[in-house]
């Protein structure tokens, strides 16, 4: 099981074995390189911990515990976490500022406690059957358990082809579940219970705020969030995408640590997707030691099977592949830790979907207008298919349920509808549409009880941060691509203090008219080039048609072979052939069809990797030699 995730921790490995428990760990050593080995035990050897992640405020917590009489044998955050739990129990979670998934075994109580960070930066999955509880950071570890036979969760596919990800706790594997972000689990005597300890609440507090005092408080919080994420006993670098968010975090790092900072970025040979000039401009302005790498469609297609192996879920976008390639280059430059800008778009209303919602609401008041739809073209100047549309096409593409502005999920209905159309390629047995399952209906049941008191923008932000942030962005593009290359990403905008602060800001501090991330832009005035502050939002994308159609990879013929499709028994062969033949003939392919192409290919790869164990796709197992700790039952006083 630990050998399957050796990429997450190539530096050391260990196993703790007792009559009722086995804990395994692979370590990526970042803090306390000499004495932070795991599994780690308490001084009385009653508590044992395995921990994936970082506790950024561990120094302050350590001082607090020393004042309470505790002594420490290491300088690691792991020992601080274990001691904190020893003192406070589950209440320790409210004191943690970090990104984590951890498990603590109490030998005296014969109880297992597992917990996950507030927003789900670190993954944690489990399987429970017949009195046996199995958990891991990645599903591929659970698949090594001989008591589990993998089955595809067809409802999970319906969710994926609607939301781009699964709805927590569901996964793409039947009976394997995800511990939701901000939750902990207790397992004892063959039974377990799950508890929530934190949730993000978007609700303006009603207090009249001065923008400038709010700006000052925001700047102070964000700077501290960056500062504590610089804590490491190895060099810390930064990703630099050329957008506002990563540029802002890089500028703050330079203020805190004026010495030479290494920054890394990825560009594209296809200029439609490339942001290299902006990346270089920021690097020159901030005087960072910058390394940029370029990838093309062939690079993306060749690495795509490896990407699916690490995401453990089919994808509707190729965007994770360049992130894998970037992390690979970072690791080759002997860097283990990078600070990135993820989370700012969710917390400060940066995505186009927020502006798109405002424009659609404005359009809905005069649905027959020929002029209002044209505002949508201004959002997507980087997508030629949209920027060249006439009024009729804009109505067709963006007019779905235009006048249903009362719907609590109005902001996302169009996106879900577009992605949901991919389900038409599934066969009758698999498609949620045909077996009566509605993923949107399931999601509606997850809305908080006071959701209707949220503003329209807050509703959209809650949906985005609940589904997309943890389920896709932090997983498929974040943790999985970085840790696949033994690199840890750190996210200052996802410091829980910053998130809670931003969630209560007045809408106009985040979205001023159609000016997104307004408060962040004001904070960065005179600290970043004016061109970066004023450049239109450009969503991070990667090519699809050129990746799989123009220059098809060798493995594509096998994946789309009629026999292979029938063997997986997920898609309708005729519909798949029609789509790919149309693409090969050079006929126009919409963004939705491009997503379908990615979805079909990635799902077929997913089946080959995890259900057929095809050696042509599945990586060989790298055997480890972990240190073994054993313990029989002991009396603990």
Express each pLDDT in 530-548 by its tens digit.
Answer: 999 998 888 889 999 999 9
Question: Phi-psi category of 12—alpha, beta or left, where left has phi over 0 and alpha has psi -120 to 50?
Answer: beta
Q: What is the Cα–Cα distance from 90 to 370, expressed in whole angstroms?
A: 58
Q: Are residues 217 and 313 in the same domain?
A: yes
Among 167, 199, 231, give the residue marking a domain's end: 199
Q: Are residues 271 and 401 in the same domain?
A: no
pTM for the complete prediction? 0.95
Q: Is residue 635 pLDDT above 50, yes or no?
A: no
Position 203 scores a pLDDT of 80
Residue in the block written with tokens 């910058």: 290
Position 631 scores a pLDDT of 80
Rounded average pLDDT over 243-252: 97
Q: Is residue 378 pLDDT above 70, yes or no?
A: yes
Per residue, the 3-state secondary structure of 144-162, as one string, reads CCCCCCCCECHHHHHHHHH
Q: Are residues 343 and 266 in the same domain?
A: yes
Query: Is 373 inside a domain boundary?
Result: yes
pLDDT digits (tens, 9 = 90+) for 187-227: 999 999 999 999 999 987 667 889 999 999 999 999 999 99
Query: Is 634 inside a domain boundary?
Result: no
Position 632 scores a pLDDT of 59
Q: What is the Cα–Cα distance from 457 to 100, expressed in whole angstroms?
A: 29
Q: Is residue 634 pLDDT above 70, yes or no?
A: no
Q: What is the Cα–Cα distance from 135 to 548, expressed in whole angstroms?
A: 35
Rounded average pLDDT over 432-461: 91
Query: Is 488 inside a domain boundary?
Result: yes
Q: Are residues 183 and 35 in the same domain?
A: yes
Position 636 scores a pLDDT of 41
Q: Is residue 74 pLDDT above 80, yes or no?
A: yes
Query: Is 129 inside a domain boundary?
Result: yes
Query: Is 473 inside a domain boundary?
Result: yes
Q: What is the Cα–Cα distance from 26 to 24, expressed in whole angstroms?
A: 7
Per residue, the 3-state secondary structure of 340-371, as one string, reads CCCCHHHHCCCCHHHHHHHHHHHHHCCCCCCC
pLDDT digits (tens, 9 = 90+) for 102-139: 999 999 999 999 999 999 999 999 999 988 999 999 99
Q: Are residues 570 and 465 in the same domain?
A: no
Query: Is 618 inside a domain boundary?
Result: no
Give the distance, in angstroms, between the CA of residue 296 and the centroid of all CA atoms in the same chain: 24
pLDDT digits (tens, 9 = 90+) for 486-534: 999 999 999 999 999 999 999 999 999 999 999 999 999 999 999 999 9
Q: Are residues 474 and 595 in the same domain?
A: no
Confidence of residue 436 (pLDDT cuts 50, 70, 90): confident
Q: Are residues 160 and 276 in the same domain?
A: no
Give alpha helix (H) positions in 561-617. Answer: 562-568, 573-584, 591-610
Q: What is the chain's mean pLDDT, rounded? A: 94
Q: Are residues 500 and 437 in the same domain?
A: no
Q: Above pLDDT 90, what percent of the chain?
A: 86
Q: Are residues 524 and 554 in the same domain?
A: no
Q: Are residues 61 and 8 in the same domain?
A: yes
Handedness of CA 300, 304, 308, 310 (dihedral sign): negative
CATH number at residue 475: 3.40.50.620
Rounded average pLDDT over 324-344: 97
Rounded average pLDDT over 581-600: 94
Q: Which domain holds residue 591?
A: 545-610
Position 256 scores a pLDDT of 96
CA-atom Rg of the chain in angstroms: 24
Q: Are residues 166 and 38 in the same domain?
A: yes
Position 50 scores a pLDDT of 98
Q: Above pLDDT 70, what percent of the chain?
A: 98
Query: Is 628 inside a domain boundary?
Result: no
Out of 143-152, 384-393, 607-616, pick the least confident: 384-393
Q: Is residue 435 pLDDT above 90, yes or no?
A: no
Position 433 scores a pLDDT of 67
DSSP 52-119: EEEETTHHHHHHHHHHTT---SS--HHHHHHHHHHHHGGGGGGG--EEEEEEEEETTTTEEEEEE-SS
Q: Are residues 482 and 516 in the same domain?
A: yes
Among 534, 559, 594, give the residue marking a domain's end: 534
Among 534, 553, 579, give the residue marking a domain's end: 534
**Using alpha carbons only, what angle is made at residue 409 by residues 408 and 413, rounded to the nearest 5 degrees?**
140
Overall domain count for the chain: 4
Q: Is residue 633 pLDDT above 70, yes or no?
A: no
Q: Is residue 168 pLDDT above 90, yes or no?
A: yes
Query: Is 360 inside a domain boundary?
Result: yes
Q: Is residue 637 pLDDT above 50, yes or no?
A: no
């Amino acid at each position: 099981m630990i050998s399957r995730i050796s990429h997450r921790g190539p530096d050391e490995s260990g196993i703790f074995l007792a009559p009722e428990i086995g804990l395994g760990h692979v370590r990526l050593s970042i803090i306390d390189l000499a004495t932070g080995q795991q599994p780690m035990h308490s001084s009385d050897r009653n508590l044992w911990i395995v921990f994936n992640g970082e506790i950024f405020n561990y120094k302050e917590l350590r001082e607090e515990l020393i004042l309470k009489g505790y002594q420490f044998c290491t300088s690691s955050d792991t020992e601080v976490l274990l001691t904190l739990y020893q003192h406070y129990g589950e209440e320790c979670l409210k004191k943690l500022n970090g990104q984590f998934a951890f498990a603590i075994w109490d030998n005296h109580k014969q109880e297992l406690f597992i917990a996950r960070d507030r927003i789900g930066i670190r993954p944690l999955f489990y399987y429970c059957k017949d009195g046996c509880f199995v958990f891991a950071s990645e599903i591929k570890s659970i698949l090594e358990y001989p008591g589990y036979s993998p089955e595809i969760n067809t409802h999970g596919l319906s969710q994926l082809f609607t939301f781009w990800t699964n709805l927590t706790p569901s996964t793409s594997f039947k009976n394997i579940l995800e511990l939701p972000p901000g939750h902990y689990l207790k397992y004892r005597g063959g039974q377990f219970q799950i508890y929530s300890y934190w949730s993000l609440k978007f609700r303006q507090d009603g207090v009249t705020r001065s923008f400038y005092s709010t700006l000052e408080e925001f700047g102070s919080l964000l700077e501290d969030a960056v500062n504590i994420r610089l804590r490491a006993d190895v060099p810390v670098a930064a990703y630099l995408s050329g957008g506002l968010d990563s540029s802002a975090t890089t500028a703050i790092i330079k203020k805190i640590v004026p010495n030479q900072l290494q920054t890394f970025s990825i560009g594209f040979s296809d200029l439609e997707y490339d942001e290299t000039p902006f990346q270089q401009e920021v690097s020159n302005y901030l005087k960072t030691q910058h390394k940029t790498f370029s990838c093309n469609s062939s690079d993306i297609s060749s690495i795509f099977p490896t990407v699916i192996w690490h995401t453990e879920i089919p994808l509707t976008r190729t965007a994770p592949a360049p992130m894998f390639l970037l992390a690979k280059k970072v690791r080759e430059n002997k860097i283990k830790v990078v600070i990135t800008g993820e989370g700012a778009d969710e917390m400060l209303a940066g995505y186009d979907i927020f502006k798109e919602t405002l424009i659609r609401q404005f359009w809905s008041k005069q649905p027959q207008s020929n002029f209002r739809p044209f505002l949508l073209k201004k959002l997507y100047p980087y997508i030629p298919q949209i920027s060249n549309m006439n009024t009729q096409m804009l109505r067709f593409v963006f007019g779905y349920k235009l006048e249903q502005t009362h719907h609590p999920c109005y902001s996302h209905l169009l996106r879900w509808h577009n992605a949901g159309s991919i389900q038409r390629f599934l066969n009758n047995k698999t498609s949620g549409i045909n077996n009566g399952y509605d993923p949107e209906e399931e999601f509606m049941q997850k809305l908080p009880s006071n959701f209707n008191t949220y503003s329209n923008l807050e509703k959209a932000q809650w949906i985005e941060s609940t589904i997309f942030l943890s389920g896709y962005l932090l997983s498929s593009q974040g943790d999985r691509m970085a840790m696949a290359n033994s690199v840890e990403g750190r996210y200052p905008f996802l410091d829980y203090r910053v998130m809670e602060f931003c969630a209560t800001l007045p809408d106009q501090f985040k979205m001023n008219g159609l000016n997104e991330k307004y408060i962040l832009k004001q904070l960065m005035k005179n600290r970043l080039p004016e061109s970066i502050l004023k450049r239109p939002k450009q969503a991070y994308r990667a090519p699809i048609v050129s990746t799989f159609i123009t220059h098809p990879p060798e493995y594509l013929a096998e994946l789309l072979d009629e026999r292979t499709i029938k063997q997986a028994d997920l898609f309708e062969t005729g519909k798949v052939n029609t789509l790919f033949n149309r693409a090969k003939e050079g006929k126009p392919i919409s963004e939705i069809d491009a997503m379908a192409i990615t979805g079909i290919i990635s799902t077929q790869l997913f089946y080959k990797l995890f259900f057929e164990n095809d050696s042509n796709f599945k990586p060989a197992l790298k055997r480890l030699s972990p240190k073994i700790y054993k313990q029989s039952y002991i009396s603990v006083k």
